[in-house]
Amino acid sequence: MHEHHDHDNPCGGHGHCHSCGEHQSMSFEEKIDLLLAHWIEHNESHQEDYKKWASQAKKEGKDEIVELILAAMSQFKEGNNRLRQAKQILEMS
């Protein structure tokens, strides 16, 4: 079961819009900067859910599931590090 949270987006929170008409006048750099920030925040917003469900799985004796959730958390963190690097490169250009 997915914990409910808002999937706000760079377009002002009206669904998953990655190319709406409101941003037609934005440059590529402005759009990608907005998206990178959104993706980072979105990924981070799931970390507490992962911790919660890893804890629940541990209580249920599901150690293999715990390990997989923790591994996924680590990979998401690494992914966010790469997104941050991309954002830094963009900001330096």
pLDDT digits (tens, 9 = 90+) for 20-71: 556 678 999 999 999 999 999 999 999 999 999 999 999 999 999 999 999 9
Three-state DSSP class for residue 7: coil
Using only C-alpha atoms, the chain has a radius of gyration, in whole angstroms, of 17
Reported confidence tier of residue 14, pLDDT bands at 50, 70, 90: very low
Q: What is the 3-state secondary structure (H, E, C) of 67-79?
A: HHHHHHHHHHHHH
- What is the model's pTM? 0.71
